[in-house]
A = this chain, B = another copy of it.
C-alpha cells in the first residue's frame, strides 16, 4: 500500500462526527466541507469572485462535461483548470463515471471501461480507468476520483457484487496509472498539479456486506482518501444513512471521507454524524435557479404570490449579500420577470446557507454540541424532503 500524500488532520471529534483540516496542492479546506458544483468550469450564475466572497473553499468540476467541451487537453494547454477558470483554491474532479452511468441506453460497460455516446454530438467515446486518471491529470484538480461502476437502485445483490468487483479491478488500474503519472512514467500526459491526490470509491449499493467488502478491498489498494459512491440514487434517506454508517466504519480514521452527490441539509448533518468529511450536491445551486431558497425556517419558493409584497429578506437570520440587499418582494419580481439576476441572487443565498450550515457543524463539533445542532436540523421537515433531486444530470439545467 503506497503512502498517502494528502495531508489531513482531525482537530476535533464529537461522537463519530469529526472536524478537520485538509491541505491540498491549492490550499486548505476546513472539514466537514461542502463543495459547490461547477460542472462546466463555472458554478452556474455566479462568478469566482462571488464564490470567494461567499467563503467557498473548494469546488467540484465534472470531468465528463469538461472533457467533451472544451476538452481536457485544451484545458491542460491553458495551464489546467485552476488557471482556465480563474479559481486559485482547491478543486475536486469526478471521474465522469456517474454521468456516463446516467446516460442509460447511450452507454455500454465492459471490462475495458465505459463506451458511450456524447450527449452533445453523439460521438463515440471510451472512458477507461486509465483515461479517467489521465483526463484529471490534464485538468490538474487537487482531488481526483477513480472510475467506478455505479448501479441503479434497486438492484439485486448479484448485480451489486459484480459492480463492486469490477470497480475494484478498475480502482487498481486507476491507482497504477496514477502512480505512473506521479513518477513521470507516462510521457504523453502532462501532470498539471504535482500534488494531486486520488480518491478510491466504495460501492455496494444498499448491502452492508458488500459495502464492507468494497471498503476493505479499496483501502487495501491504498488511496489518499475514500469516497462513498452509489448513494443518493433513489433509496430512502434512512437507508442511505444506514449504508453511510456501514461504510465509514471500515474506512481508516485518518483519511478524509467523501459522500458523493449528497445532499439536503438534513443529509449533511446525518452523514457528518456518521463520520463523513466532504460533500457535493447540485441542490443549493439548481434549486436556487428554480426559485427555491433554503432558509433557517425551511424551504421558501420565491415565486409564491404570497411574497409579492413581503419586504422581509428571504431569511431574516441570514447575513448573505442577497439577504442584506433584497426583499422577498424584489426577488419574487425578478423570478417572475425572468431576470438573470434572480438566478444569481438565489444562488448566492443558497450557497451561503450551505456553507453556513457547514460552519455551524464544524463549530458544534468543536464545542461538543453536535447532537444538539443535529436535532435542530432534524426538526425542520422541509430540509429532509424526498422530492429533492440531488444528483447532477448529464445535460446541465
A residues apposed to B, CB below 8 Å? 40-49, 65, 69-70, 74, 77-78, 84-86, 308-309, 311, 321, 325-327, 329-330, 332-334, 336-341, 343-345, 396
| B47 x A345 contact (CB < 8 A) | yes
| B325 x A48 contact (CB < 8 A) | yes
| B311 x A47 contact (CB < 8 A) | no
User: Which of B43, B330, B338, B345 contacts A84, CB < 8 Å?
Assistant: B330
Which chain B residues border A41 with CB–CB below 8 Å? 330, 333-334, 337, 339
Give A325 Cβ to nearest chain B Cβ, in Å. Answer: 4
| B325 x A49 contact (CB < 8 A) | yes
| A308 x B40 contact (CB < 8 A) | no
CA–CA, A391 and B325, complex, Å: 30
User: Which of B42, B321, B333 contacts A334, CB < 8 Å?
Assistant: B42
Answer whether A42 and B341 are a contact pair too, CB < 8 Å, given A69-B336, A74-B309: yes
Q: List 7 A-B contacts (CB under 8 A).
A: A40-B333, A44-B340, A46-B341, A77-B309, A78-B330, A84-B333, A340-B340
Which chain B residues border A333 with CB–CB below 8 Å? 40-41, 69-70, 84
| B74 x A330 contact (CB < 8 A) | no
Which chain B residues border A45 with CB–CB below 8 Å? 340-341, 344
Give A282 Cβ to nearest chain B Cβ, in Å. Answer: 14
CA–CA, A242 and B106, complex, Å: 62
User: Which of B46, B86, B321, B343 contacts A49, CB < 8 Å?
Assistant: B321
Give A335 Cβ to nearest chain B Cβ, in Å. Answer: 11
Answer whether A78 and B340 are a contact pair too, CB < 8 Å, given A42-B334, A333-B69: no
